[in-house]
Amino acid sequence: MHVKRCFINIIQFPYIYCSILDCMEVLSKGVHRAMVPVDSQMESGSSGGVELVESASGYQMLTQLDLVRFLRDHASDSDELELNTILSRSVRDLGANTEQIYSITDRTTLLDAIKCLKSAMLNAVPIVEASDVGADDHRQLINGRCRKLIGTFSATDLRGCYINTLKSWLGISALAFTQHIKNSPLETPSMSSRKELVTCDVESPLSEVLEKAVTKHVHRVWVVDEKCLLVGVVSLTDVIRVIRHALISSSSSSPQQ
């Protein structure tokens, strides 16, 4: 299966017919999930994008994780040389080592953490160790670069919490809240994996990031140095955007087969 034919033509997820590059275009813009036509009457080789298709018998949700899982699984195919080349690139090459990383500290309350997510329209933030000199404003987002990474707070952590119970926890730290949720006897194994601190280093290949994102069911992997100091982040949005751009560039620079 040639990579150009795999990604540019209409190919099949289970019961889903859509151009993968069209799906990647949408999901590379930060959209976490999209509705795609199921078993439509589009002819093979057409490009219908992810718009509504009248001939489709129905629609199915396609998520960023679905797409990344698909890419990971096909990277092992012997014919997918271009995809393997892309996935062998390091996190450093992708520019994931950034100067500004929005974070909260281990002293930020749950209430302020929620406000930070809402005001910055973020789905998750890293939790870093507070400065000893006391210069941090724990009510606001700070630059967590080169701070010790100790946790993650995400909107997912709030899912399933009773509102009255949540109100009683608003004064505790977001870190304590995530630890409480992690140790809750009502927690399922899948919830535990999403709260695990998932990291890589700047020399990690993109294939490793994909593997960790899929197996740990996370939408971002924090980039740390040898002392576990935060230096960057790789999101599924970043991964999909980079792969799509590389595939399009490769396709336009070589003859179609």
Picking from 223, 211, 204, 216, the residue whose alpha carbon sits closest to that of residue 75 is: 211
User: Per-residue pLDDT tens for 88-142?
Assistant: 999 998 888 889 999 999 999 999 999 999 999 999 999 999 988 778 999 999 9
Write down how long the chain is: 257
**Alpha carbon distance 175, 194 (integer Å):** 15
Band of pLDDT at residue 9, cut at 50, 70 and 90 = very low
Question: How do residues 187-233 score in pLDDT, each as one tens digit?
Answer: 444 444 446 789 999 999 999 999 999 999 999 999 999 999 999 99
Residue 116 in tokens: 């930070």
Whether 2 contacts 13, CB under 8 Å: no
Cβ neighbourhood burial of 97 (10 Å; 0-12, 13-18, 19+):
middle
What is the per-residue burial (b if ≥16 Cβ within 10 Å, else e) of 215-238? Answer: eebbbbbbbbeeeeebbbbbbbbb
Report whether pLDDT(171) > 70: yes
